Amino acid sequence: MEKKYFGTDGIRGTVGEGAINPAFMLKLGWAVGRVLAKNGSRKVLIGKDTRISGYMFESALEAGLSAAGIDSYLLGPMPTPGIAYLTRTLHADVGIVISASHNPYQDNGIKFFSATGSKLSDEIELAIEAELEKEMQCEDSSSLGKAERVVDAAGRYIEFCKSTVPSSMSLKGMKIVVDCAHGATYHIAPSVFDELGAEVIAIGVQPDGLNINHEVGSTSPAALQRTVLEHDADLGVALDGDGDRVIMVDQKGEIVDGDELLYVIARSRLNEGTLRGVVVGTLMSNLGLEIALQRDGIDFKRAKVGDRYVMELLNSGGWTLGGESSGHIICLDRTSTGDGIVAALQVVYAVHSSGLSLNELKSGMSKFPQYMENVRVSGKVDIASSSEISKAVADAEKELGERGRVLLRASGTEPVVRVMVEGEDAAKVAQITQNLASVVEKALAGCP
């Protein structure tokens, strides 16, 4: 069955439009509660990021769950991976995240974690959607759910993050800038690095409900770059609004993206003999990552774009390390989901244990020039059915040779076809990208 509300990462949109309104959230809470009640479940955690609409949706979800007879445990502002961790350790049946991740404050959304801290299965999401089609009813007053605050949620998660690196690791003498994007990590990430001994300069830690991700965080790292250079810091850490992404900056002020972070962690694990199996990236991962890992004898596989698909491939192979260039890094030997703070700690550990700077550690990987053009389309398209596009792709691949690649894919969130080309010669890559985008635009013109 096709889902009506759930996308690849929960339900998300602009507040007040579509399903992102308090009436729908009330019924969503009730629908989730109905599915849980059928399995004898009673306990749900609710956490949120710092955007202003989170208060409204938290109340609506709590009311819906109560109407279905389910107890709510309110975490307050809490990173998405922190909610996954607490769902496991507090033995809840489901964890609910109210967040739109790296999006601006006008957006919001709902994500769910299972009792194991992983994303809900398609079967459960479909069961929730089936309940949403029914008329909402309220349990008898004697069976209504209760709600309470979890007062030590932040402290529990801080201790967990610290436990993902050796207890002997002291960051004394290291200066680290931490950018929390005015988001859910504002009261957690600086404490993690401070308690490990680092001198911490914190930015993006004054949320007002409206400034989440605004000119700070992993999607806007310029503020972090400036602050690292101003304070002569060893490195910088930029998280996104809900804390599941991380981008870093080295002591020279250079951005270290998700591909480079994945490389640094993989090399560190390899050197210590703890790397297990294949490292997983996505179709968008830089070719330089693949070549660098293969040079070190590390197998690399690509999943579809999206941390959900990286997770699926990791689980299917029994592997532990994967990620995306956007900064979603998954370390299944440390936690159950992508976690920006945990991933940053693994990189900081690599710096600490090697005695090398982050700039030196990333230098083993040379990123290939990568260009992308978005070609707008009017509806769903079948790229593979066009002989003109197929010929243009084949010609481009022949021109690039073995040290380049071409990727065409229809976006799952926008009416565009993404044309991506990689190769060693930046000028050639840029020209091939423009030419290929032009062919795609002409071939798909007038598609319904």
Q: Tokens 């990689």 map to which residue?
A: 422
Cα–chain center distance at 67: 32
For 213, other C-beta atoms within 10 Å of its C-beta total: 26
Bridge partners, 375 (sequence order): 417
Query: Residue 86: which of 70, 75, 77 has the closest Cα?
Result: 75
How far, in Å, are 66, 134, 141 from residue 137 at the CA level?
11, 9, 12
Looking at 41, 53, 72, 101, which residue is catalytic? 101
Q: What are phi and psi of 371, to 5 degrees?
A: -120, 145
* C-alpha span between 316 and 326 (Å, rounded): 23
Residue 112 DSSP SS3:
strand
Bridge partners, 96 (sequence order): 46, 112
β-strands 94-98, 43-48 pairing: parallel
Q: How many residues does the chain have?
A: 448
Q: If 0-12 CB within 10 Å is exposed, 13-18 middle and 19+ buried, where does residue 236 land?
A: buried
Cα–chain center distance at 197: 27
Residue 211 DSSP SS3:
coil
Is 101 considered catalytic here? yes
313-316 contacts, C-beta under 8 A, 24 or more apart: 313/280, 314/280
Find the DSSP H helices in 325-404.
340-354, 358-362, 387-400
How far, in Å, are 108, 132, 206, 340, 344 from residue 210 at the CA level?
12, 30, 10, 22, 26
Burial call 274-298: b when 16+ CB within 10 Å, e when fewer: ebeebbbbbbbbbbbbbebbeeeeb
Residues with catalytic roles: 101
